[in-house]
Amino acid sequence: MRPKTKSCCSQSLLNALILALTLVFLPSCGADTPQDDSLRIGVALYTQDDTFISALAQSLEQLAQEEESRIGQKITLLISDSRSNQTTQMGQVDRFLARGCDVLCVNIVDRTAAAVIVDKAEAEGVPLIFFNRQPVDEDIQRWNQTFYVGASAQESGALQGQLVLDAWQSDPVRWDRSGDGVLQYVMLEGEPGHQDSLLRTEYTIQAITDGGVEVERLARDTANWNRAQSAARMTHWLEEFGEQIEVILSNNDDMALGAIDALSETGRALEDWPLIVGIDATAPALEAVAAGQLYGTVHNDERGQAQAMLNLSLALYAGEDPGGAVDLEDDHYIWLPYRQVTQDNLSAFRTP
């Protein structure tokens, strides 16, 4: 079966599940004032149609249920889909506040809108946790009850670059197809202006060149984190550059999978494919690593990020010092580490 078909199914299943959870949870927060001692967390996702974000929301849901039975604190999640529209998200934030949410978790659509959200939360005295999409520090520092949970974009780029460097140096005959000692690559970039797109692109290349390997960029373009857009770009590049492409660098796994879709379409034998790397370690990407299509990826710890958001929410709700519940940097930031994944350590990341 082509990976494309497989992933589309799992993506729509995930979306359906999140939608079901949203429908289950929204009515319980329908009143303007809280009616029980439930911790109400309003969670605005920039879009549900994103593999990594769907997985993070699913983990949040699962962990909230586990935590509820462990500590006996009722937790109600209100999950909304902002559909990549900042105006839609502002309306959702207003509704969460009007419905008496105790904590807001915001996966902001447009980072330049962060200050307005901080001001709204502060006016109502509701602690605010941004996650995954990082506002500028000035906005985070605006109020002492504003936090950011995420992972360092720079670190993920550096780890991806090191993966490529190691592969290139350990098997130059296989990967340096032209034999000229220069690494010819194409770069699939995430959303323009997103920290993860800008810094991953920069630090991946820096890690390779710092390792003493000369690079030549054949092409770059955004595919907005999206598998289908990436497949379209890659099809075009394969026609234009053919076997000149030695390495495909992708800012995330979904776009790496799109490149794999395009290569599969050509019917080219797997041993003649370029080296492909992604970031996230999503379930379909781990399958592609197992199949030898994706050389490696970098694990973006969605479960760890969801757990940190939950621990922080519980501490804030209880009026405790958040520093006792999570590892706080500069009083506002919680950073989760990235880890490299290849066939060598795949079993540590795949759920049986």
CB of 195 to ligand GAL, least distance (A): 9
CB of 227 to ligand GAL, least distance (A): 10
Identify which of residues 52 and 147 has a Cβ nearer to ligand GAL in the complex: 52
Identify which of residues 40 and 299 has a Cβ nearer to ligand GAL in the complex: 299
* DSSP per-residue letters across 88-108: HHHHHHHHHHHTT-SEEEE--
Tokens of 161: 């670059």
Distance CA 160, CA 165 (A): 9
CB of 283 to ligand GAL, least distance (A): 13
Identify which of residues 158 and 325 has a Cβ nearer to ligand GAL in the complex: 158
CB of 3 to ligand GAL, least distance (A): 16
Identify which of residues 40 and 227 has a Cβ nearer to ligand GAL in the complex: 227
Cβ(76)–Cβ(28) below 8 Å = yes
Identify which of residues 61 and 67 has a Cβ nearer to ligand GAL in the complex: 61
Q: How are beta strands 333-335 and 146-150 bridged, if at all?
A: parallel
Helix (H, G, I), strand (E, B) or coil at 256: helix
Helix (H, G, I), strand (E, B) or coil at 132: coil
The amino acid occupying position 52 is: F
Distance CA 8, CA 4 (A): 6
CB of 176 to ligand GAL, least distance (A): 28
Identify which of residues 293 and 300 has a Cβ nearer to ligand GAL in the complex: 300
Q: How are beta strands 146-150 and 128-131 bridged, if at all?
A: parallel
The residue ranges that bind ligand GAL (CB under 6 A) are 50, 52-53, 132-133, 196, 225, 252, 279-280, 300
Distance CA 82, CA 49 (A): 10
CB of 44 to ligand GAL, least distance (A): 13
Helix (H, G, I), strand (E, B) or coil at 263: helix
Q: How are beta strands 103-106 and 146-150 bridged, if at all?
A: unpaired
Nearest to 112 by CA among 89, 91, 78: 89
Identify which of residues 279 and 314 has a Cβ nearer to ligand GAL in the complex: 279
Cβ(257)–Cβ(226) below 8 Å = no
Cβ(114)–Cβ(134) below 8 Å = no
CB of 50 to ligand GAL, least distance (A): 5
CB of 191 to ligand GAL, least distance (A): 7
Identify which of residues 75 and 161 has a Cβ nearer to ligand GAL in the complex: 161
DSSP 342: E
